[in-house]
Amino acid sequence: MPPVKPMLAKAAGRIPDGMHYEAKWDGFRAIVFRDGDEVEIGSRSAKPLTRYFPELVAALRANLPVRCVLDGEIVIARDGRLDFDALLERIHPADSRVRMLAERTPASFVAFDILAHGDDALLTTELAARRERLVRALRETAEPVHVAPATSDVDVARQWFEQFEGAGLDGVIAKRLTLPYRPDERLMVKVKHERTADCVLAGFRYHKSGPVVGSLLLGLYDSSGTLQHVGVSASFTMRRREELVAELEPLRMDSAAGHPWAEWEREAAHANSRMPGGPSRWTGTKDLSWVPLRPERVLEVAYDHMQGDRFRHTARFCRWRDDRDPASCTYAQLEEPVGYDLAQVLTPSGPPAG
């Protein structure tokens, strides 16, 4: 019975040998419960997602065994790629908008583990047997419900790591075949793409604990010469956060007047430019104020992949690049993965199962 938290993964720098491999999906992690006509969808934090995906509820009821609990990912595809922004739009308080988006941008569910089937609880069952049970239980499934492709061939996994990025996936998950299912424990391994970019430092936010740096605000210039907000870098020790306040003081501006993001508080200004503090259903009453800095300093950050025109996740600080001219920090430096059709990942005629 819900709630159940999913099993988690810890990061690694390379794909390990001798394991079970799956693609790492870029969507909403979800635990799906079905008991007859009842279908519930729980998020990674065990909060209910059911009302936001009415089209999936109907599809799950039509495709899943009468009694089961599955672990998987809710995804939305556009033009052959995963589209995380379209997923974010679905978390909306208005039921009418949720249902309109369910028709316009329908979601899919990709199942990669089974926690219960019929009267059998499978948490203590080894992964190899759970995978076999999952494939057998969902052998008759149809779109938009899929079984995630998997392989035990590390060379195939490495090939997927390179190819699937073009379809919007962000790496590979490795699991031991003897692994039981342990909710909320980091027993899997995730290997994500990482590349670097030189960004303009344009401001910072204070840390929630007090007057130390919480995150650095990053910018890149677009083809029109406009500085766009592309994300943040935020992983620092508390000592380093204190040092950064003093280190950045010479760049500090008295106000945002004259800053490229001076209009950040005006909601209409976000329609044509990316600036910090944009309206969001996720931030609620969170303080989005920030300290403007003269955009004169460059830093190198590591990131996994882009979502549209921004970093999908928090970027990792690498080093200052005082040898770089801020004006040279443009989108043109970013590496574009070779395109790969998502349909080839999800269809039986696609990648080998291994």
Q: Mapping DSSP to helix (H, G, I), strand (E, B) and coil, where does residue 332 land?
A: helix
Count CB atoms within 10 A of the CB of residue 20.
20
Contacts of 108 (CB under 8 A, 6+ apart): 56, 74, 75, 76, 77, 143, 144, 145, 146, 346
Sole residue written with tokens 């010469």: 225
Nearest residue to 345 (alpha-carbon basis) of 22, 72, 71: 22
Strands 186-192 and 8-11: parallel
CB atoms within 10 A of CB 161: 21
Instruction: Establish whether 24 is a catalytic residue.
Output: yes
Choosing from 5, 24, 175, 192, the catalytic residue is 24
In whole angstroms, give the CA distance from residue 350 to residue 163: 12
Nearest-angstrom CA–CA distance, 188 and 193: 17
Indicate which residues carry an active-site annotation: 24
